Amino acid sequence: MIPTKPFGRTLAVLAALFVCTGALKAQEFKIDEIASVTAVAPAVLKPGTILFSDHRDDKLADVGTGLIRFEDWARERPLQKQLLSPYPAYIEPNIKVSVHGIPKAYTEKLHMYVVEARFLINKAPGSIDLGRYTRLDVLETIDPAIKHRRITADQAAPQVDPESAYQRHPNRRWCEPEGSLCIESRYPLEGKLPVGIRLANKLEEGGKKISESMDFQTEIRTLAPEEIERAGYAKLTGLDAPVTGVLEQTIFHVNQVMQFGKLVAVLQPYPSDAGKTVATVFMTLAVETDVLERKKEFESVPVLRNLIPAQVLMGKSSFNSGNSISAGLPNYVRNRIRAIAGQFEK
């Protein structure tokens, strides 16, 4: 049997996801949940309203978690898989694990949390500077709770750590595109979650301790016009208008629980008004399936029954609180989309 990973790591990863949207405030934007964002015509968009879908009720989604198996996502939504994975040819990774001290090859199965959002910005596309999000000073002012340091391609974990070699980009090295920003970040967990982690650590004596902070590496870049056209981002948004800009953030290395995270923001002109912009934002998170499957061991310990990974992940536990990741992934992501919309509006 393949050993599973401690639950607390899941929450740490999610807390770190898409850090550059951490502390923005845009309460003026409200969320309007719909079945499919990309099926909505621009004329339906209203100022101050974000059309949002996280596909938890899709036929592909697991009933208990609302997440989609990676293999189902790749088969049914190949364009999303191509553009919202770390790179187009990405597959579930083959890694080595130790089973009773014996090395064994193992395919890390993944479940996807897939989010789409669309909103109207009362500015022309050319006036929105996506390049500012590739500056470290901008990131540092957005969320002081997350500490960043710039790294080079030679410091990217997949290049220097043999155990992370499977995370290497097949066509280039992470952090090499001109104008990109690569950062290594640390986020200390907040709220009630550290208490749960300490308890889990006490109950798992002899095993690897769960960290109360999250370490991860991210590449942030804007795409060149030729790359945008070649990749087909207009097809991804479903909007028949030229793409004027794409911001891409990829979490390519995480020390636990998650394999990758991706954010893609696509800007297109509003068809009937050149002074307005339609922004479509996609977010994906690949959670290791074996983390979601941990249930019985928590149910058997009364004090941990509310720490079942899938419940906490989806905001259905008494340990969920606040407005950030401690509230659960659905609330957290909605707040981050509001933050992105507010920043673009500025």
Q: How many domains does the chain have?
A: 1
The 10s digit of each residue's pLDDT in 13-53 is: 444 444 444 444 444 799 999 999 999 999 999 999 999 99
120 pairs with which residues across the strands? 278
Residue 1 is assigned to a structural domain of this protein: no
Residue 42 is assigned to a structural domain of this protein: yes
Domain that holds residue 106: 8-345
Q: Please report the pLDDT score of residue 311 as a whole number.
A: 79
Residue 289 is assigned to a structural domain of this protein: yes
Residue 3 is assigned to a structural domain of this protein: no
Residue 48 is assigned to a structural domain of this protein: yes
Query: Largest Cα–Cα distance of the chain, in whole Å?
Result: 64
Report phi then psi at 151, rounded to 5.
-130, 160
Residue 2 is assigned to a structural domain of this protein: no
**Where do we find the tokens 């902070």?**
213
Mean pLDDT over the full length of the chain: 84
If DSSP codes are grouped into helix, strand and coil, which group holds residue 76? helix
Residue 208 is assigned to a structural domain of this protein: yes
Q: Please give the C-alpha separations between residue 345 and each of 116, 135, 177, 233, 300, in angstroms, as whole numbers.
A: 18, 18, 27, 22, 49
Residue 224 is assigned to a structural domain of this protein: yes
Average pLDDT over residues 211-230: 89
Quickly list DSSP for 143-192: -TTSEEEE--GGG-HHHH-GGGGGGS-SSS-TT-STT-EEEEEEEE--TT
The 10s digit of each residue's pLDDT in 90-123 is: 999 988 777 667 778 889 999 999 999 999 999 9
Query: Token pair for residue 11?
Result: 């929450």
> Which H/E stretch holds residue 80?
helix 78-84
